[in-house]
Structure 1
């Protein structure tokens, strides 16, 4: 993995906070002219440091007010089961994140749905699709903090 220099870290930090910034604004904030700044952004994209630029919506305002963290215990750890599971969960749009875990659960899913009835439908779809040893659901009551921006050091070399 190539280490990012201070200017690249500043560019990434600015874009994580607000991807709607103009090239001129980003260049000004990181101390570059526009052309070198644009070349750096392009390199960050082509090397996979920046994977996409998106708008972040308030889930409550768009009808996805229930967040559920779902722990899955697999019945076995075969490559076939993992592949089938990955295909299934990535095809469900309400599944926002999926992690393969170490510890008591094998997978952790963050699910966003409008209400309990929608979660029940998702739960049935999940458990009917393939064998699962155990499913544990934890319902978020309130989101106290949330960000998609990693805390990149933009003050040192």
Structure 2
């Protein structure tokens, strides 16, 4: 979203909020050189326009018992809207699927799945193939998380 209504101060506010959304308005105001009311208005405007979609708590997946991350690449048996809608419904019904993307290239979709162990992954896999047909399913187990962030670059705003 490249919108002239957002400026460098908005970028700085977003950088702060992406690091910690609980930072008090007074502290954000001090850090960006404004008073509290204009900062509050800017944040509300960013929320109203959808630039800020949500404020959430990031949970440590190991501490909640799902230390294993698996990436599943699938190829659809046919490219049809009906199949895509069935796939969307299926992944919405499986809480272990925490992210999913439609891709270009030889893999049509990729999913990020978090589970406690291989047995649970196998159960997720069986739920997938029981409810929908796939041409191929390829899984890769993450050995180590090298970088994880939910923050996106704001310099293009």
Q: TM-score, normalised by structure 2?
A: 0.94
2:50 is matched with which residue: 44, 48, 51?
48
In structure 2, the residue matched to 1:106 is 108
SS in 2 for 1:98: strand
Q: Which residue of 2 aligns with 1:126?
A: 128
Structure 2 counterpart of 1:140: 142
User: What residue number does 1:77 align with?
Assistant: 79
**What secondary structure, in the 3-state scheme, does the structure 1 residue paired with 2:153 have?**
coil
Distance across 1 between alignment mates of 2:30 and 2:57: 22
* Displaced runs of 4 or more, over 6 A: none
Q: CA RMSD in A?
A: 1.5
Which of 38, 43, 52 is 2:40 aligned to?
Answer: 38
Q: Does 1:25 align with 2:27?
A: yes
Spell out, residue by residue over 1:26-83, the C-alpha distance to the aligned partner (whole angstroms, 9 max, x if none): 1111111111111110110010100001111221111111100000100011011001
Matched, 1:97 2:99: yes
Per-residue CA shift, 1:60-116, capped at 9, x if unaligned?
111111100000100011011001101111221111111000001000001101111
Post-superposition shift, 1:151? 2.7
The separation in 2 between residues aligned to 1:102 and 1:120, in whole angstroms, is 27
Q: Give unpaired runs (5+ residues) of structure 1.
A: none
Q: Deviations over 1:122-156 (max 9, x none)?
A: 000011111111100000011122111113239xx
TM-score calculated relative to the size of structure 1: 0.94
SS in 1 for 2:126: helix
1:63 to 62, 65, 84: 65
Q: How many residues align?
A: 155
3-state DSSP of counterpart to 1:10: helix
